[in-house]
Structure 1
Amino acid sequence: MAIISHKHSFIFIHCRKTAGTSIEASLIRYLGNRDIIKTGLENEPVKHPIFKTRNITTKFPYIEKSIKKIIIKLSELGLVRTPEWVLLNGSHIPAKKISERFKNPWQNYLKFCVIRNTYDRVISQWRWEVNNIRNKTNDISLDRFLDESKKDIKNGYSSWYTYTIDGEPKMDDYINFDNLNHDLKRILNKKIGINFDGWMPKKKSNTRREEEFEIKKKHLRRIESIHKNEIDHWNFDVPGHLL
């Protein structure tokens, strides 16, 4: 998921479990017809006519999704010119992919994303998967989740590979998850020139059960080992509520 705004000259990269869906829902209000957004269908659709915009989520998302699948296939076969929005096909699109396919915006637009304490983000992602994706009768253990994370670290389990290229962070600015609204307002108001009103809906927050999840020191050590690059770069400590 990502936003490329030609109207306001910014690129927002959505990292997992960092309120990205809520930020996208807020930023949708400021986008123009030429801007590109890939967001979840739970967000309100962009109020632009179908196929009259480069936005992927419009006011006819389900109809459009089916038609656009056909267009993607035809473009892969070389039968039609590849539309710009096809280049954002996929979820949680990494910086490297955007930099390669949108070279001019990448060099000239303000790039930003949200960073979140790695320990907190990993546990949040595990809890979300337990509650929403996995078979409720066979919930995944944290040990198994971390095993999967280690095997597929670059495919969504680590935010580090979303906002870095060849191990180097490439954003121009970062929003601290713990200071979300303040930092977003700082970037939009002072650096981009959007008069941000502070509105940001809560998305996906009601999908978690209020159950206690057992987190042991061995799990925290494994998170530190698997996500060492990000933890070392930002000097993240284990949050007190996980100790």
Structure 2
Amino acid sequence: MIISHKYKFIFIKTNKTAGTSIEIGLSKFCGPDDIITPISPEDEEIRRRLGYPGPQNYKNPIWKMSFKDAVDSVFKGKKRPKFYNHISAQEVIDLIGREKWDDYYTFCFERNPWDRVISQYYWVNKSEPRPEMQEFLKSTAIERLKLKGYGNYTVNGEVVVDKVCKFENLSEELDQFRTLVGLPEKIELPKAKSKYRKDKRDYHDVFSEEDRRSISELFRDEIDLMGYQW
């Protein structure tokens, strides 16, 4: 995730929505006081080669902590609260306060759930032999997909970001965002984590009718929110 004090925006990263590529692209515009959370070593190398700022300011400093948490951190070895890759909106609010959250432009991306499930399938199962799709749909990986999507940008079922952008309109959404917050140039996205999905078939050709119904039920919130259709 990224918090830009310079341009006053917060990017909440959902999974399997080009989030890492967006993070890297946005890093270019970050100043020394902005918050950038770490990504994988492989993706950090992409960011380094581009000459963009890497992870910074993501550990909550002691002077921003409550007295009790500061004491526990210093004398009891308690880990400091910190920002991390797929942190939820609620956790960010807890760290920066509701006033700043409301003052900044907050956004994330959502994706057609049937297509997103396929992307998750190949991300979790990077090599053969891969499980049958019906088996995968019953795994905890699908629960995590829900948690790190809808669960990241809602609190008690209510959307708390200013905009949930559509992955399917990625370029247009980023252009609108750039204009809104005043970024000086176009956001260029590198290809990150795009090599794992080998099956390029349309999701209609992958899922059975039973699979379609299972995904529809699990991701009903996202489907209703974004107007996705099978």
* TM-score, scaled relative to structure 1: 0.74
Residue identity over aligned pairs, in percent, reads 29
Report what 2:5 is aligned to.
6
Unaligned runs of 5+ in 1: 57-73, 239-243
Q: Which runs of 4+ in 1 moved over 3 A?
A: 45-50, 74-77, 155-158, 210-214
Instruction: Tell me if the contact between 1:34 and 1:55 (Cα under 8 Å) persists in the aligned partners.
Output: no
Report what 1:115 is aligned to.
110
Report what 1:217 is aligned to.
209
Report what 1:146 is aligned to.
137
Report what 1:184 is aligned to.
174
Please state whether the residue corresponding to 1:40 is helix, strand or coil: coil
The C-alpha deviation readout for 1:38-88, integer Å capped at 9, x for no partner, is 1423131475699xx4157xxxxxxxxxxxxxxxxx9795217x9xx9421
Instruction: Tell me if the contact between 1:113 and 1:163 (Cα under 8 Å) persists in the aligned partners.
Output: yes
Corresponding position: 1:15 with 2:14: yes
Please state whether the residue corresponding to 1:175 is helix, strand or coil: strand
Name the CA shift for 1:47/1:137 in 2 (closer, same or farther; >3 Å): closer
Instruction: Tell me if the contact between 1:112 and 1:174 (Cα under 8 Å) persists in the aligned partners.
Output: yes
What amino acid is the match of 1:176?
K
What amino acid is the match of 1:25?
I
Instruction: Give the Cα separation in 2 of the matches to 1:160 and 1:217.
Output: 24
Instruction: Tell me if the contact between 1:113 and 1:173 (Cα under 8 Å) persists in the aligned partners.
Output: yes
Unaligned runs of 5+ in 2: 60-68
Instruction: Tell me if the contact between 2:146 and 2:219 (Cα under 8 Å) persists in the aligned partners.
Output: no
Corresponding position: 1:94 with 2:62: no
Instruction: Give the Cα separation in 2 of the matches to 1:233 and 1:32.
Output: 34
Name the CA shift for 1:140/1:38 in 2 (closer, same or farther; >3 Å): farther
TM-fit CA distance, 1:27:
0.7
Report what 1:63 is aligned to.
none
The C-alpha deviation readout for 1:84-133, integer Å capped at 9, x for no partner, is x94214x41111111122113212100001121122112221122222xx
What amino acid is the match of 1:8?
Y
Q: Count matched residues.
A: 208
What amino acid is the match of 1:113?
C
Instruction: Tell me if the contact between 1:5 and 1:36 (Cα under 8 Å) persists in the aligned partners.
Output: yes
Report what 1:61 is aligned to.
none
Instruction: Tell me if the contact between 1:149 and 1:157 (Cα under 8 Å) persists in the aligned partners.
Output: no
Please state whether the residue corresponding to 1:196 is helix, strand or coil: coil
Please state whether the residue corresponding to 2:73 is helix, strand or coil: coil
RMSD: 3.0
Report what 1:59 is aligned to.
none
What amino acid is the match of 2:192?
K
Instruction: Tell me if the contact between 1:24 and 1:39 (Cα under 8 Å) persists in the aligned partners.
Output: no
Report what 2:62 is aligned to.
none
Instruction: Give the Cα separation in 1 of the matches to 2:26 and 2:109.
Output: 14
Report what 1:24 is aligned to.
23
TM-fit CA distance, 1:211:
7.1
* TM-score, scaled relative to structure 2: 0.78
Please state whether the residue corresponding to 1:123 is helix, strand or coil: helix
Name the CA shift for 1:130/1:76 in 2 (closer, same or farther; >3 Å): farther
